[in-house]
Structure 1
Amino acid sequence: MKITNAKPFFPEDDIPLILDEIKKSLETGTLTFGPNVDKLEQEFAKYAGVKYAIAVNSGTSALEIALRYYDLKGGEVIVPTNSFIASANAVIFAGGKPVFVDIKKETLCLDPDDIRKRITSNTKGIMVVHLAGLIPPEIEEIKEICNEKDLFLIEDAAHAHGSSIDNKHAGSLGDVGCFSFYPTKPMTSGEGGIITTNDEKITEFAKIVRHHGKEGSEHTKIGYNWRMSEINAILGVYQLNRLDEFVEKRNKIATRYVEELNNMNDLSLISVPSDIVHSFWKYPILLNSITAPELEKIFRDKYEIALGTIYYPPIHLQPFYKEKFGNRSGMLPVSEDVLLRETCLPIFVGMTNDMIDSVIMAIKKELK
Structure 2
Amino acid sequence: MPRPLVATISIAALQHNLSVAKACSPGAKAWAVVKANAYGHGLARAARAFSAADGLALIEVESAIGLREQGWQKPILLLEGFFDPSDLPLCAAHQVEFAVHCNEQIDMLEKARLPAQVDVHLKVNSGMNRLGFAPDAVRAAHARLQALSAVRSITLMTHFANADDAGNPGLPLAEQLRRFRLATEGLPGARSVSNSAAVLTQPELACDWVRPGIMLYGGTPGGRSAQDFGLRPAMMLASEIIGMQHIEAGEAIGYGSRFIAGKPMTVGVVACGYADGYPRHAPTGTPVVVDGSRTAIIGRVSMDMITVDLTEVPGAHVGSKVELWGEQLPIDEVATAAGTIGYELMCALAPRVRVVEQ
Query: Which TM-score band applies after superposition, normalised by the shorter structure?
Result: under 0.3
TM-score (norm 1): 0.27
Name the larger-Rg structure: 2
